[in-house]
A and B are shown apart, each in its own frame.
Chain A
């Protein structure tokens, strides 16, 4: 499975937008880009996924570079509840989690 590179940690203030980057230079044509997050003491939670086009849902937006070698998860207005570890995952049929980005949100 192709690998992803994410910053270990990021910080944001409440109600500000957050852009979480992910590099995946070895992505293949059939790899989907998935984002999951894990809140403290909980199981992972689906956020969004996409293949080639940008995607929006009620939780976030996913911006995918034209060459697909990077993507950005956008939280439009961070809340304290968004503090979690965010995982960017590539795969064709299963999820292989990396170390993710720990997002801290300050009031």
Chain B
């Protein structure tokens, strides 16, 4: 049963620290998406990749957030430095060519104190 995996599942850190979240997309999927969910803003698209190339990162605060795909089996989302307002659940999703369904991971719950 192929699934998107995300690590860590929970992360508590202090303001100013670097946070790295990892995502393993489903094998063979060529698109990867990063979302953030908060009570206030709901689900927001941060960035997405196709064939490892970034296509759109307009939803991401550029000064502190960065997203990469070092290889086809790993996507990373980094926050440096982290701030309390970054506290949220971060979801990764993967899929095949549009408009096929996206498969979401279980999320990383980030708390920045």
**Inter-subunit contact A44/B42 (CB<8 Å):** no
A43 & B42 in contact (Cβ 8 Å cutoff): no
**Chain B nearest CB, measured from A59 CB (Å):** 11
Instruction: Describe A's contact surface by its main secondary structure.
Output: loop
Cα(A31)–Cα(B81), bound, Å: 37
- Select A43's contact among B45, B56, B101, B107, beta carbons within 8 Å: B107
Q: Determine whether the beta carbon of A49 is less than 8 Å from that of B99.
A: yes
Select which of A34, A49, A51, A96 is within 8 A of B45 by beta carbon: A96
Chain B residue nearest to A43 in the complex (CB): B104
Across the interface, which residues of B come within 8 angstroms of A92, CB to CB? 98
Shortest Cβ distance from A34 into B: residue: B99
Chain A positions 61-107 with a Cβ under 8 Å from a chain B Cβ: 87, 91-99
Inter-chain CA distance A3–B103, complex, in Å, is: 23
